[in-house]
Each structure stands twice: as C-alpha cells, then as structure tokens.
Chains A and B, each alone.
Chain A
C-alpha cells in the first residue's frame, strides 16, 4: 500500500509539489534565519568577550561599580600574585590583564609644535610577551589597514579613522597625555607603526592600541591592571562553568570589606549580554513557532484543496472496502513522506545558503556608521548541529498537522455522502 501511495505522490505533481514547496520554503527560512541569528548573536558575544568582557572578568569592586568611567585609580594592584592565584585555581582558563584609559593624542610638527590633537580611548593589551594570544584574540592581523603590529616597546597603533583625522603617517611619533593612577599628569611618546579598523564603531572611534607594559609605565601602574580577563579553552563561552567559577572566586572574598577587593563577573553579568543571550534563544523559539503556525495553516488549506480533488479516490476506496480510519492513516503516511521530502530539501537549501553566509557573510558596514553598540559589520551565519533539526522537525510536524486537520473533513462526512461524489 505504502509503495502504491508513494507512486501516487511521485506521479501526481499537483498532490505533492505544492506541499513540498511550502514545507521546503518554510524549513529553508527557518534554518537560514536561525543559523543567521545564531551567527549574529555569537559574533556579538564573541566580540564583546574578546574586546571588553572576557568570558569572566576580575576587577576591584569599586572599579566594577564605576566601570563606564574607566576609573584606573580604582585598578587592581599586586596583579602578578592575583594572576598566579587565578592560574593555580582555574588552570583551564587563560588570564590576561587589560587597561583601558582615556587621554589625549598630540601630533607635533617638525618644530615640535602641535600639528593636530584629539581625544583618545586607549586599549592596553599584552602585545609583546612571547606567547601572547591577545593580538589573535582581537583579530588584529585582519583588522590591520596599514603598517604592522607593534614589535617593541614604545610602538602603537591607531585606528584608521583616527589616524586620518590626526593626519598621522606611519613612523611618526605622537604624544599620549593621560592621568596616572594617583591622579597625576602622565605622558609618553609612541611611534605609530600601524593602523587598524576592527569593524565596530565603538572600537574604532579614537582608538590607540599599546602594549600593556608601556601603559603601565606611562600611567604609573606597575604591577597594576584595570581588569583581568579570563577565557575558556577553545574560546567558547560556557555559562554553567562561568557561574561556577564566579561563585567560587567571589566566595573567597565574601568577608573582605575592602572596596578594592577583587570581584569576578561572568560575561552574562556584563554589558547586558545576559539578556542578549536569552533574547537570542527566545527569538529562535518564536521564529520556529511562527513558521510552524504559518506552515500548518497553509498546509491545512492545501490539504483541503487536495482532499477535495481526491474525494473520488476516497469514495472509491471506501467502495472497495477500505475503512475511513485506514484512509486517514494513509493520508498521514503520505504527509510524513511529503513532509520528509520537503524538510530534507528545505534543510539542504537552508544549510547551503547558511554555509555561504558562514564563510563569506553579508557586509552591513555601510548601514551602521553611527551605531555605538558593539556590533559586527559583517554578518555571518553559524551552523550548529541543531540546524539539522530546527527546521526539519517543524516542517514534518506542520505537514502532518495540516493534513490531519484537513483529513478530519473526511471523517466527519457520512460514508454515503463521500460516495455521492462517485455518482456524477
């Protein structure tokens, strides 16, 4: 019987083609949008993690409370010991110091007079120690627009926009003015060896990137750091594990009343990323529900139309002694077959386009010149194992549901009534 039905489905295009197209399109869109959203949210999370939050971050309590002001006077001190402790307690993680600072860049002309000037946001990261992962983590090679990364103390990079604004050429020296941890005046000369563009407006606006040791020296922050960022092995955020580590670390300082005592926060606790992560999950659920609902409605109606066309067949099958229940069952089998074919086609198409988007992405940079949120400019999809079923199962389900709804009509009709269709 099944074989017979399969033949019918394959030969009667009008019975199969429309539902297959409906299922395949719905599944295609579900897979594509969900991988795209996954990719987008992950890029946002990764970008935030790499540039500002880490997977977990250690600061002083006071710094954490005023983080928006980059209050380096509230920075962690005795960092070497603290890091040793972190490495000993959480050996699976990588720990790095960072300092962010505000300041002023002054570009002198040949005579030492100010040529141009501008407010700067400094990022001090470990650029120079032998095994540093930081340049890679911040994607600096790719972000590089001119020149090279700093190779020795006293070298720095500017963001491309900022360099143009200040009319700085590679090789020129600039002076950074800032304030020390104690509130004194700090200044240091840097040789500009490269320019970068990270592709996120917040990161690129007025940025100067220097080695952390240079910053510590310039800002009188020896053995001090604003933040210590921790990253999981493999660079994937694991919220459960992050929570554990945070609880464990903070418990050690729970009884310390000092406002300079260290405190750890997970990625989710910072920058509202928690709600962003939750939102990404919710949006995927909403997306799938909307598609299941819409597909079911459409398939219900195509099922009704198809059913009308098949009353002759159903009447005949009743006459031949088939039970209504069996006819209904075979309709469901057909639906499973059609739903399966449509879902396979939709998933394959969806994954193909998603794969393309994962590799090449879509460049939206033109549209977000002035957005201050930390958003990537090239949007990429991300294919995760659940992409295999996130469209597939709903597609199959919608087809079966739509068919079952339309098939109820067959049930409700009297046998003799269905049979009437045969008399004409």
Chain B
C-alpha cells in the first residue's frame, strides 16, 4: 500500500510556551504518510490534531525531532520556503469554509491560482474543472452568502484542489454540516483522492468521516495511541 513516503515525522515533539512554563501538545510522534493515502487523526479535543496538521502544513514547526514534507525539513524552512511549499503542494480545508465574501465562487477558487504563473485561460479551465469535481458549475457567479453550508464547503474543496496539491489537510471539514452534506463532501473527496492520487489527512471527531478513512490514527494527550488500517465501509 505505502508507495513513496511524502510525509515523514520522526521523534517529533511540539511544546508551546505557556506563562513561565511549557505545554507539550505533541510528544514523540513517529508517522509516515505515502502518496494517495486517505487518513484521519481522531481523538478528543485538545489531543493535538490541529497542531499536527499545522506542522505538516508548514504553518508551525516542531520543537524537537523532524517533520519532512515533500523532502523538505519543516524546521529548516524559511518563511518564504514554507510559503512556496504550501503554494505548490499543500491544500487546506477548514471547519468554517473561509470563503472571501466579496468574491464570486469562481473568483474564490481562482484566488488559489493567482500566486502561480498561469494565464487567464489556463486558470479558467482549471477552475471550471475543479468546480465540476464538486458539482457546482452552475454557481460560478454566486457570492458565498448565497450558498448553502454544503455548497460553501464544496467551494472550499474546489479551492483547495484546484492547484492539484500533493497533500490535502482537512481540519474538521464536516463539523458544520448535516449528515447528508457530510456524506456528499466525503464522497467527493474520496473520488478526488482516487483520481488525483492526493494524500488526504483529516482531523475529526465525526463518526461519519471515520467510516470513509483507510487509515485511522488515534491521538490522546499528544501521543499516537493507535494507528490502524481501516476498512472503508462507505468506500466507492
């Protein structure tokens, strides 16, 4: 199953300064992720899921140990280099969709491509493809305020996927959605995972999300307590 490893975390610890002391959010983590994985971090609130995703996303860096993403050691990246890593290879999806309210659906998705060098027609094609993946080609001109929650999150998925990143990090993507919409977006993401070989890593409490995972990593108090391959019940 594991093809080339694209994320490699070794003996990694993350501490935050709190008052005069320190708080250990992650402790001695060892994890590998390969291309095309569909994995999830589960665990109670405060167990360190978001912290781990932020480090993989090069938004934060480890205190000890190493995290290597796409061959880059996160701790050693400059601000510029980590921005480039995100720009080229990493997509994010959040609990709240964080669409920019003044822009249309099309423009929100296009925004992700503006930092890369594409012509307007290349961008147009890529955006329309991405909106097709999530089934929103009829909403290109809508403003975010006019969308339902499910539609909003689908736009966010299109925005994260439009540049065809190697890695997609989704922090509680279904937390604001009802069951029907949760299933719908997970099916969409599973589909993209298969077609584009993107590695998906979720953070979730949501049973519905867990059903779709190929691999479930349980965190508790900043430690990995279980890491198992799961049979995706809803697969396909």
Query: A-side interface residues toward B, CB under 8 Å?
Result: 1, 4, 7-8, 11-12, 312-313, 315-316, 318-326, 415-416, 419, 422-424
Contacts and interface: CB of A to CB of B under 8 A. Distances in A.
A415 B54 CA distance: 10
B34 to A, nearest CB: 23
A8 B114 contact: no
Contact of B88 (A8, A321, A416, A422): A321
Interface string B33-69: 0000000000000000010001001011000000000
B96 A323 contact: no
Contacts of A318: 59, 83, 86
Nearest to B55: A416
19 contacts: A4-B111, A7-B102, A8-B100, A12-B101, A312-B98, A316-B98, A318-B83, A319-B59, A319-B92, A320-B111, A321-B85, A321-B87, A321-B115, A323-B83, A324-B79, A324-B83, A415-B59, A415-B60, A423-B95
A312 B107 CA distance: 16
Nearest to A10: B102
A406 B150 CA distance: 35
Of listed A313, A324, A326, residue having the most chain B CB within 10 A:
A313
Of listed A320, A324, A326, residue having the most chain B CB within 10 A:
A320
B133 interface: no
Contacts of A424: 95-96
Contacts, number: 71
B112 interface: yes
Interface residues of B, number: 30
For the complex of A and B, list the 6 residue pairs with the smallest distance between their C-beta atoms, beginning with the closest: A321-B87, A321-B86, A11-B102, A416-B60, A323-B83, A319-B92
A8 B103 CA distance: 7
Interface string B74-118: 000001101111111010101110101111000100011011000
Nearest to A315: B98
B171 interface: yes
Contact of A320 (B54, B60, B87): B87
B98 A320 contact: no
Contact of A7 (B79, B83, B87, B107): B107
Contacts of B111: 4, 320
A423 B54 CA distance: 11
B79 to A, nearest CB: 6
